Amino acid sequence: MRLRVLMGCLAALIAGCASSPALDGRTASELDAVLASSHRSQANRARDVYRHPKETLLFFGIQPDMTVVEVWPGAGWYTEILAPLLRENGKLYAAQLDPKASEYSKNIVQGYRAKLEGAPDLYDRVVVTTLAASSTDPIAPPASADLVVTFRNLHNWMMFGWEREAFEAMHEALKPGGILGIVEHRGDPALPQDPKAGSGYVNEGFAIELIESVGFELIDRSEINANPKDEKNYEKGVWTLPPTFAAGSESRDRYAAIGESDRFTLKFRKR
């Protein structure tokens, strides 16, 4: 009987079912606590309705004891959630922009570091690294990460022309079988993909083909961050929508009613 139980557990592990409902429930509860914490600004909390952080991170399979890499965290919207969740039992690497690349990049990185330094009780264990075409340093020690996540960044790498190199760096950081989770503005599949993604939108099929060509396999996709109201045909691209409102006061109410962009949410495994 014991052997039968042991073999059943082993089979479950091999099938990738190591996380139990109880463990997932504890992670969900910890995420709830972080999301409700006073360290998050009201403006950031207001975006939860569009970004669905709890559902998205659970879909990617996050656990508090994982080693996670957040790629291009920007001002740290997701870092506010990831760092407290992982602080005691896990590890968070934040692969930022290259501060030497431009004044914009410099300001982003300086602002991010100031955020971390301003709340050491939350962020003192975050390790900041760099993802850039000019950098040969890894975004995390090779084969060390359980999970790599990146949110609405693929169009930027396409604009710079090194999207493949970006995913190669993520592949290197992940353990064999590790998970890559990506969220991106979803383009109109009826239109050909702009190689530079000038509108900010990326076709889902294009993203899947690119990422799989680097050594990943798509294992799941979700409509958690879908928005069917997004028309995807704005003169100023995806930035027309909130929170940027690139068109200013012009039709602002209309764009506010649409909400943030339609986004695909994809989960890959390192082959």
User: Which strand (E) or helix (H) includes residue 42?
Assistant: helix 42-46
261 is written with which tokens? Answer: 């962009």
Sorted by where each starts, the structural domains of the chain and their CATH numbers stand as: 20-270 (3.40.50.150)
Residue 20: the pLDDT is: 63
What is the full DSSP assignment across 172-195?
HHEEEEEEEEEEEEBPPTTSPPPT
Yes or no: say if 180 and 170 are a contact pair by the CB < 8 Å rule: yes
| pLDDT tens-digit series, residues 170-189 | 999 999 999 999 999 999 99
| Total-model pTM | 0.91
- Please report how the helices 79-86 and 21-35 are oriented relative to each other, as an axis angle in degrees rounded to 10: 130
| pLDDT tens-digit series, residues 60-96 | 999 999 999 999 999 999 999 999 999 999 999 999 9
Residue 11: the pLDDT is: 37
Predicted confidence (pLDDT) at residue 14 exceeds the cutoff of 70: no
Predicted confidence (pLDDT) at residue 3 exceeds the cutoff of 70: no
Residues 6+ apart with CB under 8 A from 222: 55, 56, 59, 265, 266, 267
Residue 134: the pLDDT is: 81
**What is the torsion angle, in degrees rounded to the nearest 10, for the CA atoms of residue 79, residue 96, residue 113 and residue 173?**
70
Residue type, 82: L
| pLDDT tens-digit series, residues 201-232 | 999 999 999 999 999 999 999 999 999 999 99
Q: What average pLDDT does the segment 19-43 reach?
A: 89
Largest Cα span, the chain: 71
- Please report how the helices 103-118 and 79-86 are oriented relative to each other, as an axis angle in degrees rounded to 10: 40
Identify the band that residue 135 occupies on the pLDDT scale cut at 50, 70 and 90: confident
Residue 24: the pLDDT is: 82
